[in-house]
Every structure is written in structure tokens, then in C-alpha cells.
Amino acid sequence: MLNTLQTNAGYLEQVKRQRGDPQTQLEAMELYLARSGLQVEDLDRLNIIHVTGTKGKGSTCAFTECILRSYGLKTGFFSSPHLVQVRERIRINGQPISPELFTKYFWRLYHRLEETKDGSCVSMPPYFRFLTLMAFHVFLQEKVDLAVVEVGIGGAYDCTNIIRKPVVCGVSSLGIDHTSLLGDTVEKIAWQKGGIFKQGVPAFTVLQPEGPLAVLRDRAQQISCPLYLCPMLEALEEGGPPLTLGLEGEHQRSNAALALQLAHCWLQRQDRHGAGEPKASRPGLLWQLPLAPVFQPTSHMRLGLRNTEWPGRTQVLRRGPLTWYLDGAHTASSVQACVRWFRQALQGRERPSGGPEVRVLLFNATGDRDPAALLKLLQPCQFDYAVFCPNLTEVSSTGNADQQNFTVTLDQVLLRCLEHQQHWNHLDEEQASPDLWSAPSPEPGGSTSLLLAPHPPHTCSASSLVFSCISHALQWISQGRDPIFQPPSPPKGLLTHPVAYSGASILREAAAIHVLVTGSLHLVGGVLKLLEPALSQ
């Protein structure tokens, strides 16, 4: 029933062409809230930490929630998108709410909105708005001490921005993403993100390029919001042992620094019953912004940072000869950070004896992202194979409601994958690297290939493949060697393509296979669903 609230692909295109006034959409959200039985003022009781940004906002929220939970507080956490199950978006004490709780609150809200519809309004809000409303109801009914709320897209006109009085706001690292909705420069995007600032409510941001930082500063001044710049994590580590982070990757240090300030400010404002502003660490200004306080992280803060888990972001799964590196990076700068993390991880590994190591890229990109630019950034990883597939776990998605996406059509997503392959092959040709693997001819009389697009040998690199779903891609990459991912016998035709045939024997004999899955959080979610069956239970 929830999936019927997804906007279908054709309608989405129409809406993009005739986008209405975004302010009206916020007012519509307030109307939905009222029809659901809540007033905007009711949300003030949730003691909200509101976080936006282009990259790292989810990780920042995860760090913040875990720090405050380590103080014994009852936490609510609303995030998007989900990786495996939609319940992940609404968490209490770090855990997705139970299927029973989800069902109870879903129908309660659904029926309430049905009962209050009249001729002047659409009865049901779209998917994301519905879940946002539902999260607010869950957190109020379950009496959380605080709610960490991650913005969906943008800030100013995001439906979470009906929040009037958060305790504190945060802006993680800014970059280019969702350009059709937010604008095509970092400055325009910064203007949207600064829309979550509220009068008299402290806000924190990490060091940004000068242009977007100036926009955030001006936005804060217009709104009379005290905005602070987070000192680097090193400043908070001085005089104490270094901080250990539960999330890998150098870029997580900036997210952790922001999370510490958000948690520290939240705790201070609770002590003072919401009054007062943070004391700047020193009167000096950087880019005309006061620096946030430098303080010694408490033992609870250290514990929270160390225990933070946030699946699908710089996540490593070691499975026999296979190591899966999962990162939902989907913007240029987050893919750069992902490449640095992946290469560092490979440098630090133990090299196996007795056989070659193989590196495989599994990639997809969606929306208005520039796949050619992202793929170019991935070239330095020197992959032996690049594999492309849509964000579908299986060719048929029946019995797979959490992974259904009605906002795109199947032929659209498959064409996108073929375009990604062409970009990759073009980049490979530019590199003019010699063909590492010669491809023997396929088995005579094999059935038709499940791989899309045959390879004309003179136009394509011999090391890229397109599969029609994630399951087939994983079956080819793992060759039955992942002790947990053991699907029934591979479908006929998985090896009829010459590159698939020759690559299969190389993968079967490799001493180690390193697989980087990136480009889309939804792709990472589909991969996790198959590699970690417990996440679906």
C-alpha cells in the first residue's frame, strides 16, 4: 500500500516540466500534518537535531544518534533512503522499528488521512512525505528524548522543514547533486541547504569551499541564526587519546567532528533548558564565521563514535576469497573519497600467496548524475572487470516490495546500464591499456545470454559486462565462492557471453577477489539484501 504512494515514471517527468511553487508544497505538508492530527508546534516536543548537506549527512546523523544514545537517552532517527527494508528509515535507539510497530502506525496514519480528505485536497501525500509524517507520529507516541532528522533533498523546501524549533542544525559537506531540483552550482545548492536555519537556533557546518560557505553565512545572518564552523577533529583530540570511529574512511572524520558539535550543543541546551548559544572557541573568525567550541570529548562521546554503524557506507564484508567493499557514493566528491578509501584498504591488506588477485567494479548511477564523470574518477583503481546492472535484486521483483521503484521503467534502467558500459569502454580505450585477458569462444550451442549487449571485439574493452539484475551480477562475480551468498544453480546463459565465460574461470581460480560496489545507495542496498539475508528478516 505504501508503494502505491510512489510517483510513477511518466507522471514524474510531467511534474518536473511543470514544477509548482515549492513554498506551496511546504504549506501542503503542514496541511497533511494537521489532517493527521498534529500541529507544527507538537514537533517542538521532539527536541530535534536537523541535518542537511550533500555528502555525509546520513553518517553525521548516525554518529550523532549513537553518541546521544550512549548517554542513556531514548533516540529517534529518521533517515533516507533505506537499503533493504523501509523500516530502516524510522529507528528508535538505533534499531529500525519492528514490523508490528510499522504496520500499526502506517494504518493509523493512512486511515486518519482517508477520513479527513475532502474535495479540495489530495487524500494521500506522496511516499517520502507520508513516511516523514509517520516518523513524527512514531517518535511522539513512543516518547523519544530526541529525534535526529535527516533532510531528504535540499533543505529550504524539503518536507522535513516544517520543523519550527529544532534544538540545533547541522550542514555536512556540500557538493553537486540533485541539480534538477536544487540548482546547478554549489552556491545555489548552499542556498537551499541553508533554508533549514532557524532564528536563534545554533547551527554548525564543516569547512566548505569559500563560495558556498559565504552563502551559508549570509543565509544565517538573514535568518538571525548563529552559525559556527566546526574545528577539525584533530583539535578535539589534543591532550587525549585519538578518537576511534566506527565508520572507515578519512572523510568520516569531518562527519564525526560535526556530530560531536551537534551532540555537545544539544546536551548543553538541555542543561540550560534550551537557552543560550555555544561559546565560540576563540574570538578569531575564519571566513567571518566564529569557530565552534573546542572541548575534550567525554567517554560517552568516544564510545558513541566507536560504536557507530551505518551500513552501505565504507562497509567491508570479508567472505572467504571475496572481499566486498560497499559505499553508496554518488557525487563526484563522494566517489573521490570512496576511491581513496578503497585504495587505502587495498594497500593495507595481506597479499595472498598462490594465485592472482582480481579487482571488480560493480556500478550503477541513477537520477541526474553524470555517470561518465563518476566512472572516470574510478579508473585509478585499476579494475580487471567492470560490471553494470540496474538496482533490481531479481529480474522479477515479486515478493520484494521493499526494493520496488515505480519512478523508473525497466527499459530506462537497462539502457542506462548500457550507457555506463559504453562510457567505461571509452575511458578504457583512452587509457589504451593492453587487453589483459583473452576471451576464448563460448561453449557451442549455449543458450541465449542473460548479459545485455554483445561485444563487437573491435569496439569494446574485453572486460566490461552488463547484467539484467543484481543477483545475476553477484552470481557471476562470486562464482559460488561466497560462503553466505549461495543462490540456487546459476540461470542458463550466464556464461554464454565470451567475456563472462573467460572471466568465470579467472574468478574461480583467483586467490583473492576485491569487489567495489558504488555509484548508488540503492545498488548497495540490493547487494546487501542478497549478501546479508539477516537484514531482510
**pLDDT per residue over 40-80, tens digit each?**
999 999 999 999 999 999 999 999 999 999 999 999 999 99
**Does any domain span residue 445?**
no
Q: Reading across the β-sheet that carries 464-466, which strands appear in turn?
A: 315-319, 322-326, 512-518, 357-363, 385-388, 464-466
Does residue 327 share a domain with residue 285?
A: no
Whether residues 343 and 238 share a domain: the answer is no
Give the model confidence (pLDDT) of 207-251 as tens digits.
999 999 999 999 999 999 999 999 999 999 998 899 999 999 999
Q: What's the per-residue H, E or C state across 36-105?
A: CCCCHHHHHHHCEEEEECCECHHHHHHHHHHHHHCCCCCEEEECCCCCCCHHHHEEECCEECCHHHHHHH
420 and 518 inside one domain: yes
**437 inside domain:** no
Compute the average pLDDT of residues 93-117: 96
Q: How far, rounded to the nearest angstrom, does the alpha carbon of residue 91 sit from its chain's CA centroid? A: 16
Higher-confidence position of 294 and 351: 294
Given a cut of 90, whether residue 279 has pLDDT beyond it is no
On the CB side of 442, CA atoms within 13 Å amount to 17
CB 84 within 8 Å of CB 528: yes
What's residue 436's pLDDT?
A: 47
**Residues 254, 372: one domain?**
no
Query: pLDDT at position 16, please?
Result: 55
Least confident of 238-252, 264-278, 304-318, 424-438: 424-438
Residues 294 and 328 in one domain: no
Mean pLDDT (whole number) for 130-134: 98
* φ, ψ (nearest 5 deg) of residue 409: -100, 160
Look at residue 479 and tell me if it is in a domain.
Answer: yes
pLDDT given at position 4: 86
Average pLDDT over residues 441-467: 49
Q: Average pLDDT of 258-281?
A: 82
Mean pLDDT, to the nearest integer, of 75-102? Answer: 97
Q: pLDDT: is 353 or 88 the higher one?
A: 88
The reported pLDDT for the residue numbered 353 is 77
Q: What is the mean pLDDT of the chain?
A: 88
Q: Which percentage of the chain shows pLDDT scores above 70?
A: 85
Say yes or no: 68 and 152 in one domain.
Answer: yes
Sign of CA dihedral 460, 465, 466, 468: positive
Is the bond into 483 cis (omega within 30 degrees of 0)?
Answer: no
Model pLDDT, residue 497: 84
Q: What is the pLDDT of residues 175-206, one digit of tens each?
A: 876 666 766 789 999 999 999 999 999 999 99
Mark whether 155 and 213 lie in a shared domain: yes
Task: State the pLDDT at residue 134.
Answer: 98
Segment 468-484 mean pLDDT: 96
pTM: 0.88
The closest of 152, 130, 139 to 32, measured between CA atoms, is: 130
- Indicate whether 102 belongs to any domain: no
469 close to 454: Cβ distance less than 8 angstroms: no
Let me know whether 172 and 321 are in one domain.
Answer: no
Same domain, 297 and 327: no
Mark which of 273, 307, 341 sits at the end of a domain: 307
| pLDDT exceeds 70 at position 439 | no
How many domains, the chain? 2
Residue 444 confidence (pLDDT) above 70 = no
- Considering the domain architecture, whether residues 320 and 268 belong to the same structural domain is answered as no
What does the block give as the cell for 286?
575564519
Q: Are residues 303 and 378 in the same domain?
A: no
Block residue for cell numbers 560531536: 260
Q: Is residue 392 part of a domain?
A: yes
Domain-embedded: residue 516:
yes
Segment 278-299 shows an average pLDDT of: 77
Tell me if 482 is assigned to some domain.
yes
Mark which of 257, 288, 307 sits at the end of a domain. Answer: 307
Query: The domain that contains 237 carries what CATH number?
Result: 3.40.1190.10
Shared domain for 385 and 259, answered yes or no, is: no
pLDDT in tens, 140-169: 999 999 999 999 988 999 999 999 999 999
Is 300 marked as a binding-site residue? no
Q: What's the one-letter identity of residue 475?
A: Q
Within 10 Å of residue 437's Cβ, how many Cβ atoms?
15
CA 369 vs. chain centroid, Å, equals: 14
The domain that holds 333 is classified in CATH as: 3.90.190.20
Q: What pLDDT was estimated at residue 456?
A: 35
Mean pLDDT of 349-361: 87
Q: pLDDT tens for residues 411-431?
A: 888 999 999 999 999 998 887
Q: What is the SS3 assignment for 196?
A: helix
Average pLDDT over residues 518-522: 96
Average pLDDT over residues 75-101: 97
In a domain, 530, yes or no: yes
Cα torsion for 485, 377, 249, 80, to the nearest 10°? -70
pLDDT value at residue 437? 45
Query: Is pLDDT above 80 for 286?
Result: no
The residue among 276, 307, 338 that closes a domain is 307
Give CA–CA dist 468/330, Å, rounded: 21
According to the model, what pLDDT value does residue 520 have?
96
pLDDT greater at residue 168 or residue 489? 168
Chain segment 370-403, per-residue pLDDT in tens: 999 999 999 999 999 999 999 999 876 555 667 6
Tell me which residue of 55, 511, 497, 487 sits closest to 313, measured CA to CA: 55
Q: Is 439 exposed, middle or buried (0-12, 13-18, 19+ CB in 10 A)?
A: middle
Range of the domain at 216: 45-97+146-307
Cα 28 to Cα 466: distance, rounded to the nearest angstrom: 42
Annotated ligand binding at 313? The verdict is yes
